[in-house]
Structure 1
Amino acid sequence: MDDTPAVPRQLSGARLLDTAVSYVQERHWEVLPGTWLEMSAGGAPRCSCASAACPAPGARPTSADWATRATRASGNGSEVRRMWTGRSRSSVLLPTGRTFDVPEVPESAGFHALARIERLEVRLGPVISTPTHRMAFFVLPGACAKVPRLLGALGRPPDALHLTGRGEGDWVAAPPTRMGTGGCTQWAGRPTAAHRWLPDVGEVLSPLACGREAAETRAVR
């Protein structure tokens, strides 16, 4: 029996492009075409970057100078379509540290935090759920520099939440980008008109800390 994992069905290039255009026109986010999944000569799935050790198969920038190639937040649909010309299967990446920062946490803590945020009626920005079981919360830029101090104020060490701060020089894979063979990124909290104004990281960090505690408590029961 062949145990070689199959490449998941590729998303429509038109769907990816249309989504990228909508992020620029409707959300005023910067976008960047990234890599995609393809089949190697041996029939195994691999990233289009061709690296066997690719850390983000099918969902990473295609060049080291990617930060200078992203659209402007004030860009338009024509600019996005030019960027996707000849690379219709490209993933949709969102540079961080410009329009927003993204604290990323394990999904167990993320889902608990979402429930707590809803109960507290805290203003929330868009939230991405990834096939790698992580959740990414959109907050105002500059968050990464604040996180260590804010965690200290909560009595938490820097690594307490298993939090990865994505700010200047980083990116997130936007829905519906496919990451590896695990599936697509999805919106756990969709971008809406209500999310036009993003929260400060301090507004979501306490619920995330409580969510981590709840996840740990549940795990030991």
Structure 2
Amino acid sequence: MDETIAGTETAQIPKQRGESLQDTAVRYAEERHWDVFPGTWLEAADGVQRCSCGEPSCAVPGAHPARADWATVATGSATVARRLWAKQPVASILLPTGRTFDAIDVPETAGFLALARMKRMELTLGPVTCTPDRRMQFFVLPGAAAKVPDLVRKLGWPLATLDLEVFGEGTYVP
């Protein structure tokens, strides 16, 4: 069973379950019906972790597509996912947005406040992930990312002043 944050599902880190990255990618495809695709990974060189892409100043080491054609490689097939990670077992798992879900990324503090409010309102929530950089990603229905800017403006907030990012069609989350 996945962990919960305030009664909300959270994506599980493979090592916590004793799963390989391949097992987790296959589980996401098989059980959740999410498309998955392999990303870059971290490599140790001279005691320093570096991204497998080879770029010394990689902005998101180990958390971006390893291939330019990632959108066509992404699969919801457990068999294909198993084959992809068999070729590169340490590849990160990336989830394309805009297909099964979009994602709304907020600072951790705002995320926990939102979760508490949604719980009080007895809203049904989708999965929520916590990232290593103290942010939370709310998985929402596909198409929601396109609606967020208008919703925020209608509430009287200028979108540029909020520390909020949306992921929809053509993007992904690690």
Range of TM-score over shorter length: 0.7 to 0.9
TM-score (normalised: structure 2) = 0.86
More strand by share: 2
1:1-221 residue pairs with structure 2 within 5 A? 15-40=20-45, 42-71=46-75, 73=76, 75=77, 77-173=78-174
Distance 1:165 1:149, change over 3 A: same
Taking the aligned partners of 1:55 and 1:122, their CA distance within structure 2 comes to 36
TM-score (normalised: structure 1) = 0.68
Superposed CA deviations along residues 3-61 of structure 1, whole A, max 9, x for unmatched, are: xxxxxxx9599521111111111111000111111112x33110111111212111111
Taking the aligned partners of 1:23 and 1:161, their CA distance within structure 2 comes to 31
- Would you identify which runs of 4 or more consecutive aligned residues in structure 1 move more than 2 Å? 10-14
The question of whether the paired residues in 2 share the 8 Å contact of 1:13 and 1:90 is answered with: no
The question of whether the paired residues in 2 share the 8 Å contact of 1:14 and 1:88 is answered with: no
Taking the aligned partners of 2:123 and 2:29, their CA distance within structure 1 comes to 26
Taking the aligned partners of 1:14 and 1:88, their CA distance within structure 2 comes to 12
For structure 2, the residue ranges without an aligned partner over 5 or more in a row are 1-13
For structure 1, the residue ranges without an aligned partner over 5 or more in a row are 1-9, 174-221
User: Which protein shows a greater Rg?
Assistant: 1
Count residues with an aligned counterpart.
160
Paired amino acid for 2:51: C
Distance 1:121 1:14, change over 3 A: closer
Superposed CA deviations along residues 129-177 of structure 1, whole A, max 9, x for unmatched, are: 000111100111111211111011111111243111111111111xxxx
Superposed CA deviations along residues 64-88 of structure 1, whole A, max 9, x for unmatched, are: 11111111x3x2x221111112211
Shift of 1:63: 1.4
Q: What secondary structure sits across from 1:85 in the alignment?
A: helix
